[in-house]
């Protein structure tokens, strides 16, 4: 991940190996394309490259940040069923407008894994994009269907060991995959998908470079829906 372990990525110019560069989708501006390398590619890798998502399958998405909203748009475009969670009814309404089949307010439904179970006819979902980490992993394992796939992506609830057993993976013959963005080959296939499906990225707000600190504070607050962009334009 560009900038994941190296300071200084937020700059006008950046030297990188040629094989790390991918052409952006035909109709995208640079601001729109900036949403792809981290959040978009992560969701793509979790669903299509590592998860083997196919039309008609169900996906549980946690929250309404960049990865989950990109995942929602991809699932809808590919003919799947998306169930998404949030603590905000307003954000859930926006997700519904983007094509979410079902929404769950995890603040008013703290046992949201039970809601997922009921919404899927007590079968569970085929895929989970797990961005919460140790605080939500147990519920994700309860939500996944037999033979399903949990993509372990984020640690929004912290880095401590998960206080849960992963034994449900065994009893359900399910799999869990660690996802850390994706390769340039993944990215090229992702761009081809976008050129065909014409998905417009959801950008919450664009900050000028001079307001970078405000952009980070907005992300920290969790008030955003979709992506936050810092622009030099």
CATH architecture of 18-231: Alpha-Beta Complex (3.90)
Higher-confidence residue of 134 and 188: namely: 188
The two structure tokens encoding residue 24:
């952006």
Query: Whole-angstrom Cα distance, residue 4 to residue 19?
Result: 18
89-128 confidence digits (pLDDT tens): 999 999 999 999 999 999 999 999 999 999 999 999 999 9
Q: 52 — alpha (psi -120 to 50), left (phi > 0) or beta?
A: left
Task: Indicate the pLDDT class of residue 162, thresholds 50, 70 and 90.
Answer: low
pLDDT at 159 over 90: no
Q: Write down the pLDDT at residue 72.
A: 98
Strand 58-62 relative to strand 81-86: parallel, antiparallel, unpaired? parallel
Percent of all residues in the chain with a pLDDT value above 90, rounded to a whole number: 81
The two structure tokens encoding residue 218:
């907005």
Query: Whole-angstrom Cα distance, residue 97 to residue 13?
Result: 37
With vertex at residue 107, the alpha carbon angle to CA 168 and CA 94, rounded to the nearest 5 degrees, is 100
Beta bridge mates, 151: 129, 177
Cβ neighbours for 203, distance < 8 A, ≥ 6 positions apart = 31, 32, 35, 226, 227, 228, 229
- Asked if residue 144 lies in contact with residue 137, where contact means CB atoms within 8 angstroms, the answer is no
- Asked if residue 229 lies in contact with residue 216, where contact means CB atoms within 8 angstroms, the answer is no
Could you state, in order of their start, the residue ranges of all structural domains in the chain? 18-231
45-99 confidence digits (pLDDT tens): 999 999 999 999 999 999 999 999 999 999 999 999 999 999 999 999 999 999 9
Question: Cβ of 83: how many Cβ atoms within 10 Å?
Answer: 25
In this prediction, residues 197-220 reach a mean pLDDT of 95
Query: Whole-angstrom Cα distance, residue 142 to residue 124?
Result: 8
Global pTM value: 0.92
Beta bridge mates, 85: 62, 104
């Amino acid at each position: 991940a560009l900038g994941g372990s190296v300071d200084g990525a937020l700059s006008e110019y950046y030297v990188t190996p040629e094989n790390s560069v991918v052409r952006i989708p035909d109709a995208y501006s640079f601001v729109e394309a900036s949403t792809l390398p981290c959040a978009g590619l992560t969701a793509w890798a979790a669903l299509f490259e590592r998860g083997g998502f196919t039309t008609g399958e169900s996906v549980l998405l946690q929250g309404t940040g960049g990865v989950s909203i990109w995942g929602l748009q991809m699932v809808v475009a590919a003919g799947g069923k998306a169930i998404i969670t949030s603590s905000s009814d307003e954000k859930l309404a926006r997700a519904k407008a983007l094509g979410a089949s079902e929404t769950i307010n995890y603040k008013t439904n703290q046992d949201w894994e039970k809601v997922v179970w009921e919404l899927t006819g007590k079968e569970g979902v085929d895929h989970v994009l797990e961005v919460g980490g140790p605080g939500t992993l147990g519920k994700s394992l309860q939500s996944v269907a037999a033979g399903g796939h949990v993509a372990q992506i984020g640690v929004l609830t912290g880095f401590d060991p998960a206080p849960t057993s992963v034994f449900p993976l065994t009893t359900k013959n399910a799999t869990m995959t660690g996802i850390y963005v994706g390769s340039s080959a993944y990215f090229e296939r992702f761009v081809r998908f976008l050129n065909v499906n014409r998905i417009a990225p959801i950008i919450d707000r664009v900050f000028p470079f001079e307001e970078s600190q405000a952009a980070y504070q907005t992300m920290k607050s969790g008030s955003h829906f979709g992506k936050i962009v810092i622009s030099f334009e």
